[in-house]
Chain A
Amino acid sequence: MNFMALELRPLCAVLISLTASGLIYVLGEHIRPNAREGITLTAAVLKIITVYSMIPAVLAGREIRLELFSIVKGVSFAFNVDPAGMVFACVASTLWILTSIYSIGYMRGHGEKNQTGYYAAFAMCLCATTGLCFAANLITFFIFFEVLTVATYPLVVHYRDAEGTFSGRKYLAYTLISGQIFFAAIVIVYSVSGTMDFVPGGFITADMLPMPWALVVFFMMIGAGIVKAGVMPLHSWLPAAMVAPTPVSALLHAVAVVKAGAFCTLRVVLYVFGPEMAKACYGADILAWMAVFTIIVSSFVAMRKYNLKARLAFSTVGQLSYIVLGICILTPYSTAGALYHIVAHAFMKITLFMAAGAIFVTTHKKDIREMVGIGRRMPVTMMAFTAASIGIAGFPFFVGFVSKANIILGAVSMGKPVFVATLIASALLALTYLMPVVLIAFKKNVDNPEFAERGDAAPAMLIPLVITAVISIILGIAPNAGLHLFDLAVMAGNQIFMPLM
């Protein structure tokens, strides 16, 4: 019985958010806002319990596989909980509950309209994210991937203004085109290989897809992933999508959607093509160089942005390319590092976004140049911001260090000095674009009358961002604290490269 329940848990995790989304959409306008947010929070708590409860089994190496029914002829709608998916699912579900609390503070503090649709779409996105974490084959993955694409759209256009509409169109143009090409690639992969199940180490062999076609199909598949992950030159929807309310930017454009892109890259490179094939068709190399380019260029662009959210958006673009780079180095270390960077970046970047949102709601400031001395008014927020910034730069004892160290280790073991240099340079660059914010905020000898009074953000916003900041420090000191996420990441890396060793 207990075994049965374990099998059903991934399905439960998906259904909880789906039900919440449906309930909110149908009931939202008819019940009090508190009850509506109650649904969100209850679902978030249930989901977090469900997801966490699977960790021991995964750590023990047990296979949790659930085949529901045939979704297309010959392929079933199946879930398979593996370490890599588990890492991402843990991050997404943990952050959902924190972001939900934050959202309540933000949306009410800001007096937003259309909150029902907002919460419904939010829950839907989480449903899709969890689904794609646990998807056992390409078609299940693709279904959730596309649901995520569509469910994010209402959040991007939340304000219903001209700018939002434009960003929404841009977002759809990027994601739908790449999604449809992904679809065509899945069809081709299925017709040449006859299977779609993710296998650690890949299932495509050189005789299925001869050389020029392997590269073409590789990029057709990877396109969807790197669009969502914002790898240059396909990144421009991401800064545009920052018109959405800050909690959306925080969870979706720093965690769920963009990480789904990175995760898609991981699945395609390591679970569909596999390290050998990815290397043989030069796909991994090309992608790694694209990531290097993105890391450097996005840092320089970020320096020139004075809107805090825009600066963070470009920082996201750069940080996500770390993950892509880590995947494309194709070593167990760098893969574990890349997976762990999903965790690390999520906690750090969400802290930064939440801080930006808290500043905006409390003082209505978006421009960095107007934030002189804001540390005096909002010390806690800015402390958290500082901690996260240092983490992004990759200082020891912060979570960013763990992941970057592993990626660098991988790069060293493969003998790629350029990648090592890029990673180190970008850490410095991250300092140059994030530290000025901190320095401006805590500038001495400035008496900005606006910020003279002490008045931090509302508790509903403050508490989540403090929690995430603290977690990002704890995980930096003890990467395995609590959920054993680092072990999971290492396990995933070993699984993939085991057959090769």
Chain B
Amino acid sequence: MIENIPVLIVLLPLCSALLCLALTAVSRNLGIFAVKLSCLASFVLSCIQLQMVVTGGTIHYAIGNYAAPYGIEFVIDSLNAVLLVCFSLMGFLTILFAENFGNEKRPMLVGAACAETALLITGILGMTSTGDVFNLYVFLEITSLSAYCLISLGGSRGVVSAYRYMLVGTVAATLYLLGIGVLYSVTGTLNMGDMREILDQGGYDGAMLTAMCFLIPAFGIKMALFPFHGWQPSAYTHAEPGSRPLITGVMGKVPALAMFRFVYCIYGTDFRFVRIGLILLGIFSVFGMLYGSLMAMGQTDIRKILAYSSVAQMGYISLGFAIGTPIALAGAFLHMLGHVFMKGGLFFCTGAIRYKFGTVDINEFGRIYKKMPLTCGLLTAAALSMIGIPPTAGFFSKWYLALGAAGQHEWIYIIILVISSLLNAVYFFRLIEKVFIRQSSELRTRWESEVLELPLTIIIPVVICFIAIFGLGLFNVRIVDILLMTLEGVGL
């Protein structure tokens, strides 16, 4: 049992996803219950696994006992152990949250949405765990396909967004396949560790460069990195409201992790053209940070604001990769963790406000803090974290990024970080202003209760995100230490 944890984490949501529809047909809530249970189990198991990795070092798990490099291998180092905890927690919270957004009249549709969300979680967790490049492709496609479906459930705009995302996403997946094809043609292996060893022998620079040309756009599209972000704003905006926190908070991070694996774990920093790749990545990040924030300023739909802000925030993460020192990489991953809760949390808020008042236009958010103090508390905390005000998580990830940049004498990155936080401040304080200061607007309440401002299943995610934003900030050193266990060996 205990040695099978790595695969159980991924399998449990998969099983529940497959069972969900059948169980929903039996009883309306049974399917959702199964998914909830499996996600909670995944979360608990990934916590145990993190503990195991911290004490016992990297776990190599050969699926079906076919030893690597021939079989598929899950490699859990300290890096993805932490990410798995974070992603599975977010998955569980999203499932909790999502049950409030189903169409009561069509239980099967609710079950289907739930199953898709569970599949999305499976794909995400699988992509995070795997140590095999082709297995990564399979999980990437599981993630993408379930995301297409979830986005298409968000009304008629959602269908078109999903279709466009599908076209672009498939191009990305195909490019990825081509990239690993090129690498496979020279190394003859698909296992990441094995591939690293063979590539380290040298002499494959041409093939590696070719593969890099395919892989950077592939991951760029999947993580919505500027300038490959075209599909993202409308997809995030029109996705199914229940699963939106997961789609916006987690889905973009996993390809970023995969990109990190390729650049630092497979290629390594000895690769002759790695500098060129990193500079390119840096340019993308810098422009993405500026572009995302500038675009976000012009929007009035809160979902659009947050979607464009994600373009900017992905820039922070790839900026960390572009700087490349262990400390900057730790900053990037800390930002990844923090951003899961910030963006996820902001979409929990958006969903909660919409659940209660049925609006997403920030011009109608007049003084809703009086009616929803908890939600607005999280909104403020997450917004401050996005700007990077201490002691929230966002400040500390920015700190490590800036420190890494200073260590590499990349002063321009520090300037951009400062400018970007100020641009963030412009639109997030506009949001805070709307929530706290504007004249109260006449909003029709859709959900009333004497005791709670919202149903408990919405409050729990909101509160956990709030705690996580401050917890990740104040206790970042513990996490950074765990991250550095892996990162020390791979950075510049």
Do A and B touch, yes or no (CB under 8 Å, in the complex)?
yes
Which residues from B are CB-within-8-Å of A177?
422
- Tell me whether B477 is interfacial, beta carbon within 8 Å: yes
A154 — nearest CB in chain B belongs to which residue? B436
The reply on B390 being an interface residue by CB < 8 A is yes
A180 and B421 contact, Cβ closer than 8 Å, known pairs A150-B384, A188-B406: yes
Least distance between B410 CB and chain A CB atoms (Å): 11
A298 → chain B closest CB, angstroms: 28
- Interface membership of A184, Cβ < 8 A: yes
Instruction: Kindly supply a per-residue 1/0 record for chain A positions 153-196, scoring 1 wherever the CB is within 8 Å of any chain B CB and 0 otherwise.
Output: 01001001000110011001000110011011001101100000
Taking the closest CB of chain B, its distance from the CB of A280, in whole angstroms, is 23
Instruction: Mark contacts of A404-446 with chain B using CB atoms, 8 A cut-off: 1 yes-contact digit, 0 otherwise.
Output: 0000000000000000000000000000000000000000000
Bound form: Cα–Cα A85–B373 in Å: 35
Q: Is A72 located at the chain interface by the 8 A CB criterion? A: yes
Residue of A with least CB distance to B408:
A191
Asked if residues B406 and A191 are in contact (CB atoms below 8 Å), the reply is yes
Task: Provide the B203-243 mask, 1 if CB < 8 A to any CB of A, else 0.
Answer: 00000000000000000000000000000000000000000
A72 touches B399 (CB 8 A): yes
Q: Does A146 contact B (CB under 8 A)?
A: yes
Determine if B418 and A183 form an interchain contact, defined as CB atoms under 8 angstroms apart.
Answer: yes
User: What secondary structure prevails in chain A residues at the interface with B?
Assistant: helix
CA distance A188 to B406 in the complex (A): 6
Decide if B402 is an interface residue (CB 8 Å cutoff): yes
- The size of the chain B interface, using a CB distance under 8 A, is 40
* Residue in contact with A187 in the complex, picked from B396, B406, B476, CB distance below 8 Å: B406
Q: Contacts A142-B390, A150-B384, A157-B437; is A72 near B400 (CB within 8 Å)?
A: yes
B418 and A180 contact, CB distance less than 8 A: yes
In the complex, which residues of chain B have a beta carbon less than 8 angstroms from the beta carbon of A165?
Answer: 433, 437
B403 at the interface (CB under 8 A from A): yes
B480 surroundings in chain A (CB, below 8 A): 73
Residues B389 and A184 in contact, CB atoms below 8 Å apart: no
Q: Specify the chain B residue showing the minimal Cβ separation from A158.
A: B437
A69 an interface residue at 8 Å Cβ cutoff? yes
Tell me which of B391, B399, B406, B438 has the highest count of chain A C-beta atoms within 10 A of its own C-beta: B399
Shortest Cβ distance from A74 into B: residue: B477
The one of A143, A164, A191 in contact with B407, judged by C-beta atoms closer than 8 angstroms, is: A191
- Judge if B327 is at the interface, Cβ distance under 8 Å: yes
Contact A184 B399 (CB under 8 A): no
If A72-B400, A73-B477, A160-B437 touch, does A184 touch B418 (CB 8 Å cutoff)?
Answer: yes
B75 to chain A, nearest CB (A): 25
Q: Is A70 part of the contact surface with B, judged by Cβ < 8 Å?
A: yes
Instruction: Verify if B425 is at the interface (C-beta below 8 Å from A).
Output: yes
Query: Judging by beta carbons under 8 Å apart, are A71 and B402 in contact?
Result: no
What is the bound-complex CA distance between A154 and B400, given in angstroms? 30
| CB atoms of A150 and B415 under 8 A apart | no
A143 touches B391 (CB 8 A): yes
Q: Given that A72-B396, A181-B418 are contacting pairs, would A187 and B384 also be in contact in the complex, using a CB cutoff of 8 Å?
A: no
Q: Are B477 and A187 in contact (CB under 8 A)?
A: no
Q: Which residue of A lies closest to B403 (CB)?
A: A187
Cβ–Cβ < 8 Å partners of B438 in chain A: 160
Separation of A168 and B106 alpha carbons in the complex (Å)? 48
- Residue on A with the closest CB to B421? A180
Check if A147 is an interface residue, CB within 8 A of chain B. Answer: yes
* Chain B residues with CB under 8 A of A164: 437
Indicate if the CB atoms of B402 and A172 lie closer than 8 Å.
no
Q: Which of A182-222 contact B (CB under 8 A)?
A: 183-184, 187-188, 190-191
- In the bound complex, residues from chain B placing their C-beta under 8 Å from that of A25 are 373
Scoring B residues 394 to 420 as 1 if CB is less than 8 Å from chain A, else 0, what string do you get?
011011101101110000001101100
- In the assembled complex, which residues on chain B have CB atoms less than 8 Å from the CB atom of A70? 477
Q: A72-B476, A73-B327, A142-B390 are in contact. Are A183 and B402 (CB under 8 A)?
A: yes
The docked-state distance in angstroms from the alpha carbon of A165 to that of B439 is 12
Given A71-B477, A165-B433, A187-B403, the answer on whether A147 and B422 have CB atoms closer than 8 Å is no
Q: Does A69 contact B422, Cβ atoms closer than 8 Å?
A: no
Shortest Cβ distance from B429 into A: residue: A172
Residues of chain A touching chain B, judged by Cβ–Cβ distance below 8 Å, are: 25, 69-73, 139, 142-143, 146-147, 149-150, 154, 157, 160, 164-165, 168-169, 172, 176-177, 180-181, 183-184, 187-188, 190-191
9 more CB-based (< 8 A) A-B contacts, given A73-B477, A177-B422:
A71-B476, A143-B390, A143-B391, A150-B384, A157-B436, A172-B425, A184-B402, A184-B414, A190-B406
Q: What 7 A-B pairs have minimum CB-CB distances, sorted nearest first?
A: A191-B406, A70-B477, A143-B390, A187-B402, A180-B418, A160-B437, A184-B414
